[in-house]
Copies of this chain bind each other. A is one copy, B any other.
Amino acid sequence: MSTPDEEILAGHLQELRRGTVVLACLATLQEPGYGYALLETLGRAGLSVEANTLYPLLRRLERQGLLDAEWNTEESRPRKFYRTSAQGGVVLDALLRDWESLHSAVRRLG
């Protein structure tokens, strides 16, 4: 009776993680990097994200001007690398502040 539906739990966990992934991308890409390397860094940090979630997100953040992207054409197959832009840095700071205050709020309630 008290085992929650797996799908319901998964949905709430996903919602809790979604905003965090943006934060983690902007934080990590203060050092320029490729999508694939970012995927590995996030996974090692305990923030597993699927490639088909991460790549569209990176393109969205680029479109929003929060990431700068450049092509590395020195290798046989050109690869895009990303870096947090100045605007992205401002958004990162705001998200980090909000995140810390959410964290304190939840602790007070929990």
* Interface residue? A54 (CB, 8 A): no
Task: Tell me the A47-79 residues at the B interface (CB within 8 Å).
Answer: 47, 64-66
Place the interface of chain A in its size category.
Answer: 35 or more
A94 and chain B: residue at smallest CB distance: B9
CA distance A27 to B12 in the complex (A): 14
Query: Considering the chains assembled together, what is the distance between the CA atoms of A41 and B89 in angstroms?
Result: 32
Given contacts A27-B110, A102-B20, contact A12 B45 (CB under 8 A): no
**Complex alpha-carbon distance, A24 and B103, angstroms:** 10
**Closest CB pairs A-B (n = 10):** A16-B19, A2-B86, A15-B19, A45-B105, A4-B87, A46-B105, A27-B109, A27-B110, A47-B105, A8-B64
